[in-house]
Amino acid sequence: MIATYWRLDMKLKSRDVLRQYMKFRGVNVRQLAEQSGVSRSTVGHLHSGKRKGCRPEAATAIEAALQAPPGLLFDAVVTNVSREVGVPA
């Protein structure tokens, strides 16, 4: 059986803007991860451009740690997700 649902994700507007804001605040990937409570790999992937999105909680925490106005770095994106779920016996 396939289950379909909507999910809210946050899309990084630009990795260059994130990098510039980090430079402006004087923080590196490790420091931003510690200050925001977001994993170092998530922050690193956003910083490098390997990943363009994250969960809303992570986006909010990153913007707060950088003292950026809400919505400056990320846009909300609603996606439709389909997953196969097992049928109980």
Ramachandran sector of residue 71 (left: φ over 0; alpha: ψ -120 to 50; beta: rest): left
Predicted confidence (pLDDT) per residue in 23-44, tens digit: 999 999 999 999 999 999 999 9
User: 2-84: which CATH number, 2.60.120.260, 1.10.3720.10, 1.10.110.30, 1.10.260.40?
Assistant: 1.10.260.40
Residues of the chain scoring pLDDT < 70? 87-89
Mean pLDDT of the chain: 93
Domain ranges of the chain: 2-84
Name the token pair of 13.
């507007």
Strand order from edge to edge, sheet including 53-54: 53-54, 2-12, 74-84
Question: Sign of dihedral through CA atoms 33, 37, 40, 44?
Answer: negative
Structure confidence at residue 9 (pLDDT): 93
Q: Kindly report the CA angle at 50 between 59 and 2, in degrees rounded to 5?
A: 75
